[in-house]
């Protein structure tokens, strides 16, 4: 749909994605801008990201991966996972602009017989934002995830 506040598609297609495309998907991999457009939830904290994942689940997909979020670290608590996520090595500190990017994944687990939702699994990954302008990183992330899902049976692996 877009990134960094700019749509790559006509604005009229946002509602088509929300109402027709996303409900058909098993997996969605939006970035922060896209998930905000699709859910109407402004993401400033991990808690907002979790709410947005749940909102996307409610549209249909059982697996939601927000490929990148820039969170307000002064107010956010990483209530999801990763207590050691803020450790950086010297090279990361040198190339980073001080900003942290967060990836958030949420998997809705269903009962195999009834199809009813049993519970949710959530994971997050934080990494220093590397200085520069990069396009297509969300696409690479989605492709790598797809390749791994073909290789493993359980996402916990």
Which one of the listed residues 111, 139, 153, 154 is annotated catalytic? Answer: 139
Q: Rounded distance, CA 119 to CA 116, Å?
A: 9
Respond yes or no: is residue 153 known to be catalytic: no
Per-residue b/e over 122-145, b at no fewer than 16 CB within 10 Å?
bebebebbeeeeeeeebeebbeeb
Query: Annotated active-site positions, please?
Result: 139
């Amino acid at each position: 749909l877009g990134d960094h506040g700019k749509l790559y598609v006509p604005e009229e297609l946002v509602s088509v994605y929300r109402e027709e495309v996303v409900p058909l998907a098993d997996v969605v991999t939006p970035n922060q801008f896209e998930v905000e457009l699709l859910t109407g939830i402004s993401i400033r904290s991990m808690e907002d990201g979790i709410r947005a994942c749940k909102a996307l689940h409610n549209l249909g997909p059982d697996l939601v991966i927000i490929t990148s979020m820039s969170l307000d670290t002064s107010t956010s608590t990483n209530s999801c996972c990763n207590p050691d996520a803020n450790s950086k090595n010297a090279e990361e500190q040198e190339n980073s602009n001080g900003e942290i990017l967060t990836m958030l994944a949420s998997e809705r687990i269903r009962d195999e017989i009834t199809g009813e939702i049993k519970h949710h699994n959530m994971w997050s990954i934080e990494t220093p934002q590397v200085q520069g302008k990069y396009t297509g990183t969300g696409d690479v992330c989605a492709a790598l995830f797809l390749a791994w899902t073909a290789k493993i049976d359980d996402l916990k692996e």
